[in-house]
């Protein structure tokens, strides 16, 4: 009864809307229709209920409740939240252009965006923002939302920040003119060895194909013949971008994906032109965080036997959402179709046990041992399909890789989690760079020199452990000895990120990344490539 009551507001919205995104007007309501019944009920509540009802709030609750009853991915986004929700996919926002973190209740600049407003104004990595337009910008009241609210703003507007910079006796005032700041979807692109390149894509955004091609061209200039393409943790994005990325690997007129729904006729999406990497060995990394567009690309490459997939079973999202604008500027992202890989696989995992169970699926996978042992995964024969060469693949619950890589337990043990949660890594790295940033820049001209020359001394690692103890971290000696190399590399990578860029972080971490190491091993095995 509660769901029916809440749904009434949503259907009144539809009844009074008359259009969605320029579609044809709705047909006149049948007096006996369910929609008319719901809207009449809401009219009665609004006009005869004993208390005053907050109708806008009731309407939003009704929309959310109705969509939740459909599937896990249909969603309502209020007008207020819409702009921020679109940022990762649109690929830009307007602001001052810094990456930052809140460190000890202070806004610490990790790095200015190269060429952005803060970079042009002279803001440096390691600067601490003490005031914004004369207001105190430190203390427990300063949150990520506070920073966003005060540093973001329309292009052309000005903001004055007062900076503490180590070695300076007084605060430095900078006037920054806000501008459009690009959001990049390529996290890293570098050479793993003289022949093999590596690209990590974090999302399928509007400009991802353009970014991807720049990365490919750059790596080719450095001698790349083979590629490791990392889609781990990539939760998806635009369907058209997935088509564009897959197109770079597949020959002309090869089917990439097809979509179909009760009110959406089948639509086939093909590779349509010469791709930027149609030849050369290709390994795609996936895991339980790879979803939607990531599964479209990896599924197509697997079905056409173009790539070897390495990692763990993907998330399992095979539903297509389309945005429909409501009269107040809010948006409903409604699931309108299912997508299928070229072999016919629908990779959507079941959601018949409710939204909560759906999103707790990862916990169930861990409980059943799937992230450690692939033998715990079972697909029924009814979901069996075949690739272009006749290899067996399965649908109905994500993309299963060709080669399994278990979860790296060193990144998920409780001791490591506590080190991260209590800020031990950040405290050490920030303090170390405060004292050594200029010296390190002078000594290491680029990431390669840093990787080859910098090593964390025993004395520095002891300082890190001392910082951890100050932060009330209980040192687990057994786990520490087992994973010490990983912790030291993590510190080295975080220093590299703050000293150079995000790309440097991934380049430093690559030697201890189990997925990348397995991918390199596969690259060396010509017989395995021929077999798969």
The catalytic residues are 292, 317, 321
271 with 244: CB under 8 angstroms? no
CA-closest candidate to residue 59, choices 74, 80, 38: 38
Spell out a b/e string for 294-319, using b for 16 or more CB atoms within 10 Å of the CB, else e. Answer: bbbbbbbbbbbebbbbbbbbbbbbbb
303 with 342: CB under 8 angstroms? yes
Rounded Cα distance between 159 and 98, Å, is 13
Q: What is the DSSP string of 212-253?
A: HHHHHHHHHHTT--EEEEE-TT---B-HHHHHHHHHTTS-TT
Q: How far is CA 505 from CA 123, 128, 374, 498, in A?
A: 21, 22, 30, 9
CA-closest candidate to residue 246, choices 201, 288, 287: 201
39 with 17: CB under 8 angstroms? no
Show contacts of 437-443: CB within 8 Å, 24+ apart: 437/125, 437/126, 437/499, 440/495, 440/499, 441/499
At residue 193's C-alpha, the angle toward residues 187 and 197, to 5°, is 40
Say how many C-beta atoms besides its own lie within 10 A of residue 523's C-beta: 22
């Amino acid at each position: 009864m509660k769901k029916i009551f809440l749904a009434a507001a949503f259907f009144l919205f539809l009844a009074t809307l008359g259009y969605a995104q320029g579609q044809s007007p709705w047909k006149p309501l049948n007096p006996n229709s369910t929609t008319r019944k719901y809207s009449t009920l809401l009219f009665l509540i609004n006009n005869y209920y004993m208390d005053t009802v907050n109708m806008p709030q009731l309407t939003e609750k009704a929309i959310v409740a109705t969509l939740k009853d459909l599937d896990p991915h249909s969603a309502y986004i209020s007008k207020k939240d819409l702009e921020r929700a679109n940022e990762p996919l649109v690929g830009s926002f307007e602001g001052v252009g810094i990456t930052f973190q809140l460190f000890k209740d202070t806004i610490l600049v990790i790095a200015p965006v190269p060429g952005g407003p803060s970079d042009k104004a002279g803001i440096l990595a390691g600067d601490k923002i003490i005031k914004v337009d004369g207001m105190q910008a430190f203390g427990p009241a300063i949150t990520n939302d506070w920073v966003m609210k005060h540093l973001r703003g329309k292009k052309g507007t000005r903001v004055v920040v007062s900076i503490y910079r180590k070695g300076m006796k007084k605060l430095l005032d900078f006037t920054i003119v806000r501008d459009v700041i690009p959001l990049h979807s390529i996290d890293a692109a570098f050479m793993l060895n003289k022949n093999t390149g590596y690209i990590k894509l974090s999302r399928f955004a509007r400009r991802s194909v353009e970014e991807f091609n720049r990365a490919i061209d750059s790596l080719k200039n450095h001698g790349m013949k083979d590629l490791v393409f990392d889609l781990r943790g990539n939760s998806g994005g635009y369907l058209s971008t997935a088509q564009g990325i897959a197109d770079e690997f597949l020959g002309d007129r090869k089917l990439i994906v097809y979509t179909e729904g009760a009110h959406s006729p089948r639509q086939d999406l093909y590779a349509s032109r010469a791709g930027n990497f149609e030849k050369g060995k290709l390994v795609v990394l996936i895991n339980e965080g790879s979803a939607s567009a990531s599964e479209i690309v990896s599924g197509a490459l697997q079905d056409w036997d173009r790539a070897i997939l390495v990692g763990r079973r993907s998330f399992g999202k095979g539903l297509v959402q389309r945005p429909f604008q409501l009269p107040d500027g809010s948006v409903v992202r409604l699931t309108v179709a299912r997508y299928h890989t070229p072999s016919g696989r629908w990779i959507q995992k079941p959601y018949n046990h409710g939204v909560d169970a759906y999103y707790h699926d990862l916990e169930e996978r861990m409980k059943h041992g799937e992230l450690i042992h692939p033998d715990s995964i079972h697909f029924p024969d009814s979901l069996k399909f075949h690739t272009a060469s006749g290899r067996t693949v399965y649908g109905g619950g994500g993309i299963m890789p060709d080669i399994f890589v278990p979860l790296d337990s060193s990144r998920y043990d409780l001791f490591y989690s506590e080190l991260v949660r209590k800020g031990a890594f950040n405290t050490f790295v920030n303090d170390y760079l405060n004292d050594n940033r200029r010296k390190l820049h002078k000594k290491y001209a680029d990431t390669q020199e840093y990787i080859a020359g910098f090593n964390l001394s025993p004395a520095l690692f002891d300082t890190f452990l001392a910082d951890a103890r100050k932060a009330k971290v209980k040192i687990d000696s057994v786990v520490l000895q087992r994973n010490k190399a990983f912790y030291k590399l993590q510190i080295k990578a975080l220093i590299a990120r703050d000293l150079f860029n995000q790309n440097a972080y991934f380049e430093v971490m690559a030697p201890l990344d189990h997925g990348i190491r397995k991918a390199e091993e596969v690259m060396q095995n010509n017989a395995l490539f021929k077999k798969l």
